[in-house]
Chain A
Amino acid sequence: NAGVTQTPKFQVLKTGQSMTLQCAQDMNHNSMYWYRQDPGMGLRLIYYSASEGTTDKGEVPNGYNVSRLNKREFSLRLESAAPSQTSVYFCASRRDRYNEQFFGPGTRLTVL
């Protein structure tokens, strides 16, 4: 099992460009999450999907959109990137609410 995979690993964008971060899990988990981690900080929740077909905003959703493509895949889109979105992005999944989460290796994004 690969667990949670994320692509790409690194990305550099110019202000105003768009991109989609991909996430997939092979553990048959129902819930999936996107977090961002800024230097010296803990993770903050951007969006989550409690089950296939549903998505909800987290703590810091502005400037992002998500798509739960199917049970395995959950993508995060930046429509018009801004320097404030420079961060490391982590995808996570878990079987159900109130369980432990499994994290991907992260995508390091720099917006110039």
Chain B
Amino acid sequence: SQQGEEDPQALSIQEGENATMNCSYKTSINNLQWYRQNSGRGLVHLILIRSNEREKHSGRLRVTLDTSKKSSSLLITASRAADTASYFCATDARGDGLTFGKGTHLIIQP
């Protein structure tokens, strides 16, 4: 079963704008991870946030985690055409593998 659910399913914005994606999950977690997948390629790890952390930054990425609401958000600032991809959240509950959502497909319009 899918633990994480991303929202929206698809997002189209202009280059230079910010993109925000949300993820909700159902059970307690050790950490939550965000991955990017370019069309036809493997997944690339973006950022990992542990259950005792509330916010984390990496370059143009900002991730928040609210364990009381079982939700996370990924913000990409100053978007670029190269950011066009699918973005997945994945929860790590017991350390035996990740449980992925269905993803948000992000399109950056030039």
Contact = CB atoms under 8 A, between A and B. Distances in A.
A101 B44 CA distance: 9
A103 B42 contact: yes
B4 to A, nearest CB: 7
A43 B31 CA distance: 17
Interface string B95-108: 11111111100000
B30 A48 contact: no
Interface residues of A, number: 26
A63 to B, nearest CB: 18
Contact of A45 (B30, B45, B98): B98
Contacts, number: 61
A33 B97 contact: yes
B33 A100 contact: yes
B30 A106 contact: no
B96 A43 contact: no
A102 interface: yes
Nearest to B47: A100
Contacts of B1: 59
A56 B1 CA distance: 17
A101 B99 contact: no
A48 B97 CA distance: 7
B60 interface: no
B96 A97 contact: yes
Nearest to A90: B42
Contact of B95 (A58, A98, A100): A98
A58 B97 contact: yes
Given A48-B97, A100-B45, 14 more contacts: A33-B98, A41-B2, A42-B102, A42-B103, A43-B98, A44-B100, A45-B98, A48-B96, A50-B95, A56-B96, A90-B43, A97-B96, A101-B43, A103-B44
20 contacts: A4-B42, A41-B2, A42-B88, A42-B90, A42-B100, A42-B101, A45-B97, A50-B95, A50-B96, A58-B96, A58-B97, A59-B99, A98-B92, A98-B95, A99-B48, A100-B45, A102-B45, A103-B42, A103-B43, A106-B42
